[in-house]
Structure 1
Amino acid sequence: MSRRPKSSRAGSRRPSRARRAIRLAEMATLQQPLALRRDLVRIFGEDRLVAVIRTATPELAERAARAMSEAGVRLVEITLTVPDAYELIAKLATDDAFAKQGAIVGAGTVLSGAQAEDAVLAGARFLVSPALVPEMLEVGRARDVMTMPGTMTPSEMVKAAELGADFIKIFPIATIGGPDFVANIRRALTHLPLVATGNVEYDEIPAYFKAGVVGFGIGGPLIRGDLLERGDHAGIVTNAKRFLAATRRA
């Protein structure tokens, strides 16, 4: 059997046919019905939050994912930069406890159609990219999973909508102008479902909603890497509940 990826670089390679067959077999053992794209769109419309998990080890990523599910965060994104990301996605996708808490796993930092396909085979039910990746959107349509491509410019946003994106991620939002940037975009492109992503802090959430976003992808401020490193599970859960209450409230 082919070697499993051990780094973010390895994670970008396509698994072998044998590994893809294993993924299909794992998908067949799912205990819960697969969430359909329309289910994911509805959930994001209710919670307006995706937890973005990007850690140095799969162990830390799993801890973060389980803390998010305990806090009630239903959409949990494992970025493909996490070592052994596909394996972790498969583990969470087939985990009864994770599913019973209402949590659904997706894949982030998807940079190609091949990565998108492999992530879905591993069990990801939504796909997120840091850039506009048309091939990811094609896989999303074919596999009935929710898609959220990354954009920075109005042209990219319009193109993402034309390609059928469910939601349009603006990334990195803090760097390119924050709420003011969103407000300016919304004056011209009122119909686009924009999602603010990139180190959005808790106290910034109202301003982003006022500017016109429909939701958030939040990593560091939500996951709290400092709490994760020292094993403060309760602290992470409490912090995540606070964020979720803020995004649901609007």
Structure 2
Amino acid sequence: MTRQELVNFWQQLPDDECIHPDDEWVLDGDHHLMNDHVPTPWSGPILNAGIFLLYMNAGVGQDENGNVDPDWEQAQHVHEEALRENLNGVTENYMFIEDYRGHDGGANWLTSRLRGVFSDDAAIQEENIINHVAVLELVAYRSFRFTDGYVVNALASSRAVLNTVHDELLPRALDGEIFVACMRGAKKWGILPRVGNDAEPPTNIAIGSNQGGYATINTEVGQRIRNFAEEHNII
């Protein structure tokens, strides 16, 4: 499956629904995923990006008591149109909408994960993230904490993004065209650091090694992303 085919898959989501038709039978069962919010299988322009970060699934804004943050909930509804437009694969990253950016899962979250990779200048850093970075989620539906690993193989949408990563993104990364960094759940994404005990790890495929999914300039993954960006005249 190609990126365009993945976008086509999500174009099947009805305008007034929050569950892809092929996922309904799974989400009718017992799970901890939120199926009353617009799904976020990715953020950023996946059809045009050159750097891809792979995570498990998007989180939920929480208040001090661990409940859904009303302000976050309001932002989801206010920007529902932008979240749906995100599914066209070319729209500017919804995380950077001004009154969305400070919420959990907003721009502040993403820029903190890539701190210093493109530039120490915040404006330049942000511009490069918006134009060149896409985040892919293995599960398109949000949750407080991902505990439903068993749904990955059941959800058609999860199989679709897995196929896209393995059919298009990883081969293109091996050819040096793009960079893929698996920041969470490498085993579930089916990504190995190398093949064979003596093999060198692929130059443009990386696996994050910290719990928070950070790829700042002080990490190996962040430095490798920067090297890729320099080699491809992104910065």
TM over 0.5, yes or no? no
Higher-helix-fraction structure: 1
TM-score, normalised via structure 1 length: 0.29
TM-score, normalised via structure 2 length: 0.31
